[in-house]
Structure 1
Amino acid sequence: MNVEPTALPEVLRITPRVFYDDRGRFQELWNHERYAQAGLPVCFVQDNLSWSRPGVLRGLHFQNPAAQGKLVMVLSGAIFDVAVDVRIGSPTYGQWVGEHLSSENSLQLFIPQGFAHGFAVLGDQPALVAYKCTHPYRPDCERALVWNDADLAIAWPDEVVEPILNPKDRAASTLRQLERSPGALPQYDASPVRQVRSA
């Protein structure tokens, strides 16, 4: 597999090896040893699976405390997957990166702790999205950043105009509002960034 940094270096784009033959194709979704060799976290404790209709947007979500790192992959359909650095003091605070993930391209995105995450379903088919988490879901720690925060200026695909949102995401806060809420945002840890390599 190939592991490479995105425009936000701590967010990683992963291209797994896919094997094709007359029957179809085969790939590993996650392999403890291979991901460890590539410098990726292997301490996942929870697997989530979401099925979303066309036009749905989920996010942008993060936990503080009990921050979650996530390994995101699409089993069916296509999404535009977004990560936003919400760590106060980070050199990339308030910056975002987006990737097109689909069952066709098999790409995965690793989103570290301290980043808000969300995605929009693309096309006219539902999306089945799986993601592994480094910390269990804690509803008491869940935070939401509004998807269309003008200061973030996320360049969602043109088809994402009036997405289907749940009430909590529709009422989510802007980053500036979260800054004014004590304890809402995580602090940046300046520990050395892990070294990643293809495996």
Structure 2
Amino acid sequence: MELYQMTEQFNELFDRFDEIDNYIPDTDEFGRYIDGNGEIIEDLEAFREKLRSAWFDTLVGLEAEFNDKAENIAVYLKSLYIEAAAMHDEEKTLKARRMVIEQRADRLKKHLIKSMNAIGVKKIDMPRARLTIRKNPESVIVDDELGFIRWAQENANMLLKVKLPDIKKAETKRLIQAGESLPYVHLDRTESLIIK
């Protein structure tokens, strides 16, 4: 049974609790209370107590089944988090190794370009590799970033990309908690699941 089905069963079960307290059984032709099988109910309150007891037994059984299901999901969640953490660690290791290899390749490539330029060779065509030195498109090299930004703000603002300022959420939270009324923001409390 799925968790959502169990949740529905819990809701139905709790709805039935009030029905048990207010339960009035059918009567036979003599006005005596009878149960669903047509058996005479001698003591209505004892019968209701029996129904309550069955209700509690059902609740305990459903709760145990729900707890087992929740535990299985929690164990699976823990294994997923462990697997994700291992992948994250492996990603960091692979990224570091990739960067070392890329840096080695870049240094070797620059050395090869320098050596080919030194002897005046722009193209080499061999069976396993073809090498060609070509001119790349021009790119902007910024010699003084702060100096250029100041100049552009005064003379050519369209050369700058402007970002929205970041909201200091911790400071904003502190002010709201202190009783400040701030527009366009509010505090919200979410829930999290702790699995140990």
**What TM-score, normalized to structure 1?**
0.16
TM-score (norm 2): 0.16
Greater relative CO (CA pairs within 8 A, separation 6+): 1
Compare CA radii of gyration and give the structure with the larger one. 2
Higher helix fraction: Structure 1 or Structure 2?
2
